Amino acid sequence: MSTGGPQCPRCGEAFLCGAASGTCACFGVALNDSLRKQVAASFSDCLCVACLKQLSAADQRLAAQPNPLQK
């Protein structure tokens, strides 16, 4: 479904970005500081909410795994 808005640089889908107006759906997606920095370093534009949620979920799964270097 195309919204006629910008395209997500990660998945290519068009989405409606409301960041400039202060009411973007992405404001509700929790990203830790490390992931936020990785996204900012990897992409020069906003990502769609679906991609942000996917990245956040993957990051949370990795964080929940035990560290094999620790006892």
pLDDT digits (tens, 9 = 90+) for 14-23: 998 888 888 8
Amino acid identity for residue 11 in this structure: C
Q: What value does the mean pLDDT of the chain take?
A: 86
- Give the whole-angstrom CA distance, residue 9 versus residue 51: 10
Coil, strand or helix: which one is 47?
A: coil
25 in any annotated domain? yes
Domain-embedded: residue 36: yes
Q: What is the residue range of 39's domain?
A: 1-66
User: Which tokens in the block code for residue 7?
Assistant: 């395209």
Cα–Cα distance between 25 and 17 in angstroms, integer?
Answer: 8
Q: Could you tell me if residue 7 is inside a domain?
A: yes
Number of domains, the chain: 1
Which one is predicted more confidently, 43 or 67?
43
Is 53 part of a structural domain of the chain? yes
In a domain, 71, yes or no: no
**Residue 4 pLDDT class (50, 70, 90 cuts):** low
The answer to whether residue 29 sits within a structural domain is: yes
Whether the model pTM is above 0.85: no
Q: State yes or no: pLDDT of 43 exceeds 60.
A: yes
22 domain residue, yes or no: yes
